[in-house]
């Protein structure tokens, strides 16, 4: 299951991995916590919400994933109990073995709050005393959480974030690009709000940069595996098991962690 903040976030940073998981036989799921309601300078929030839901459904179809509707509007992703209960219910319903979520460091708080909410909701999946909304029975299974790269591959203070895992998305990149192209309403919005002349070109630049960091792949997506505590066995890495031909561990990242250093791009 891939969960992100806004429509098109999954396509930018998670879509290739989700496609490969589908090809490996996994049932895949697609959800954005927010509706994308603020992603326009032309339309009202109501109209924008409708347009972006239609685009997200189309993109999920291209990715071969089951679409799940959003909960709130843009800038309303707050780390609060009401939203946590709703997200925990959704995660219990799907009960994914692999959970793909945003980076805990990113330039935008909708993204970082989504990351926090996903981690807590997954952690509470098996707690019978935590009430979800709607009520869902607890799930007694392991769940491994993987954090995607931040948008722009840097944290809010512009420091480079280094992946611990590279997934080779070269073979599915054209489909990933097709999925992102479903979000055509975002071309004008991203050009005016963030100075992106082409959101497809921006995705390509990031994809190639992560591929270059891998030292092995043309296009790649980067991941960092969340701590196993409360989620799975110590060495649980189902992404490696599912995508071994496309999977490359960043040994320098792992060595830095073992030595108590922060992995950097220096």
Nearest Cα neighbor of 207 from 251, 257, 151 is 151
> What's the DSSP call for residue 131?
P
Q: So what's the pLDDT on residue 205?
A: 95
Q: Residue 189, class by beta-carbon neighbours within 10 Å (0-12 exposed, 13-18 middle, 19+ buried)?
A: buried
Element (H, E) at 146: strand 144-148
Nearest to 5 by CA among 34, 27, 29: 34
Q: Tell me whether residue 97 is in a domain.
A: yes
- Pairwise CA distance, residues 162 & 26, whole Å: 27
At 192 the pLDDT is 58
pLDDT at 2 over 70: yes
pLDDT (0 to 100) of residue 19: 98
Angle between helices 173-181 and 199-214 (to 10 degrees): 150
Domain CATH code at residue 164: 3.40.50.10320
Measured over the CA atoms of residue 85, residue 37, residue 15 and residue 21, the dihedral's sign is positive
Number of C-beta neighbours around residue 238 at 10 A: 17
- For residues 266 and 253, give the distance between their C-alpha atoms in angstroms, rounded to a whole number: 12
Q: Is residue 140 part of a domain?
A: yes
6 and 32 in contact (C-beta within 8 Å)? Answer: yes
Say whether 106 sits in a helix, a strand or coil.
coil
Q: Which residue has the tokens 């980076």?
A: 103
For range 18-40, the mean pLDDT: 97
Q: 151-185: b or e for each residue (b if 16 or more CB lie within 10 Å)?
A: bbbbbeeeeebbbbbbbbbebbbebbbbbbbbbeb
Number of domains in the chain: 1
**Alpha carbon distance 109, 118 (integer Å):** 14
Does residue 226 lie in a domain region?
yes
Given a cut of 90, whether residue 264 has pLDDT beyond it is no
Distances (CA, A) of 193 to 85, 189, 190, 199, 214: 32, 6, 5, 12, 31
How much is the pLDDT for 257?
87
Containing structural domain, residue 77 = 2-258
Query: Is residue 123, in this structure, part of any structural domain at all?
Result: yes
Residue 264 lies in a domain: no
Residue 168, φ and ψ in degrees, nearest 5: -75, 110
Whether 265 is in a domain gets the answer no
Q: Is the pLDDT score of 44 beyond 70?
A: yes
Predicted pLDDT of residue 189: 60
Residues 186-241 have pLDDT tens digits of 876 665 555 544 788 889 999 999 999 999 999 999 999 999 999 999 999 999 99
pLDDT digits (tens, 9 = 90+) for 66-89: 999 999 999 999 999 999 999 999
Mean per-residue pLDDT for 1-6? 98
Check if the beta carbon of residue 122 is closer than 8 Å to that of residue 210. Answer: no
Specify the pLDDT at position 40. Answer: 87
Give the mean pLDDT of 86-102: 98
* Residue 50 belongs to a domain: yes
Length of the chain: 266
Residue 263 lies in a domain: no
- What are 106-164's pLDDT values in tens digits? 999 999 999 999 999 999 999 999 999 999 999 999 999 999 999 999 999 999 999 99
């Amino acid at each position: 299951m891939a969960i992100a903040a806004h429509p098109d976030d999954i396509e930018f940073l998670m879509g290739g991995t989700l496609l490969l998981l589908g090809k490996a036989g996994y049932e895949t799921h697609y959800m954005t916590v927010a509706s994308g309601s603020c992603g326009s300078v032309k339309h009202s929030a109501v109209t924008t919400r409708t347009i972006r839901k239609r685009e997200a459904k189309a993109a999920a179809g291209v990715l071969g994933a089951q679409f799940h509707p959003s909960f709130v509007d843009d800038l309303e992703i707050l780390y609060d109990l009401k939203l946590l209960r709703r997200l925990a219910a959704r995660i219990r319903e799907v009960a994914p073995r692999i959970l793909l979520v945003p980076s805990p460091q990113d330039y935008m708080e909708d993204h970082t709050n989504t990351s926090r909410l996903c981690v807590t909701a997954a952690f509470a999946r098996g707690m019978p005393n935590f009430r979800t909304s709607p009520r869902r029975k607890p799930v007694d299974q392991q769940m491994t959480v993987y954090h995607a790269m931040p948008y722009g591959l840097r944290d809010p203070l512009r420091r480079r974030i280094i992946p611990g895992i590279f997934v080779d998305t070269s073979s599915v990149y054209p489909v990933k690009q097709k999925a992102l192209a479903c979000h055509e309403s975002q071309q004008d919005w991203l050009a005016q709000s963030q100075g992106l002349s082409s959101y497809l070109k921006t995705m390509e630049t990031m994809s190639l940069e992560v591929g270059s960091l891998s030292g092995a792949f043309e296009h790649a997506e980067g991941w960092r595996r969340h701590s196993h505590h409360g989620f799975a066995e110590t060495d649980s890495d189902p992404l490696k098991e599912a995508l071994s031909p496309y999977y490359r561990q960043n040994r320098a990242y792992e060595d830095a962690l073992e030595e108590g250093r922060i992995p950097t791009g220096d």
